[in-house]
Structure 1
Amino acid sequence: MGMEACKQGIRSRFVTGCGLANELIEARDEKQLGRAVKRYASYGLLIIDELGYIPFSKEGAQLIFQILAERHERKSVIITTNKGFGDWTEIFGDPSMTAALLDRVTHKAHIINCDWDSYRLKETLKRSPK
């Protein structure tokens, strides 16, 4: 979907969840958070990959919330994760913030639940000697 958005001229950004949190924390520490939030708000499409593979620090979770809240109902976001919505409190830590985040993320969303085996595992098994 991201490649298609780029082909259609939509300014897009692909980032991992941890990469986004780290970038925002660094921007905050360098007193550049406003600039970073504005930049992330400007993309026509933001793709956040691997959300939740590693739980966020409190600061990282709050900053990601800020980005997603800023984009809510304004710009498109694609999030990939192997976590169900019920597990998002483990990722973000704060139940109230997680509930507010899920409310925004799922509002007017197209949720695609991919329940299939890992293609990487399939490729590895094909290459394995029998």
Structure 2
Amino acid sequence: MQQEKETHLTPIGYLLWFFGGLFGYHRFYYGRQLTGLLWMFTLGVFFIGWVVDAFLIPRMNQDANNQFKSGDTDYSVAWVLMLFLGVFGAHRFYMGKMGTGILYLLTFGLLGFGVLYDLFTLNGQVSERNGEAARSEPVPA
């Protein structure tokens, strides 16, 4: 099912590929946690997979846009905030999760373990938040 609004953006995929791709960050962004984990422990499968991914990102982007729910909470903003300010909980504050945002801020992202958890679950968290927002909107008459 094609979404009316893009959930993931190709330029953001390339940004994450460039700054965190050897650790699989772009793969986590596109909802590919298993290969993201593989990239994390093998430095992008010994750099070769990282290079190949430069050509695969448009397809991964298209797949993610079909998989996740669009809404007011932007996946790309959440992921960029997590990449650069995740240990301070910026992505959590952005999603309106003030309690865990403060917890991350005071504990440096639960000493990094919380940020690691969010690598695997952030797409689901944003999708769930967008689904909640869609359910709470009034139905047009």
TM-score, normalised to structure 1's length? 0.24
More helix as a share of residues: 2
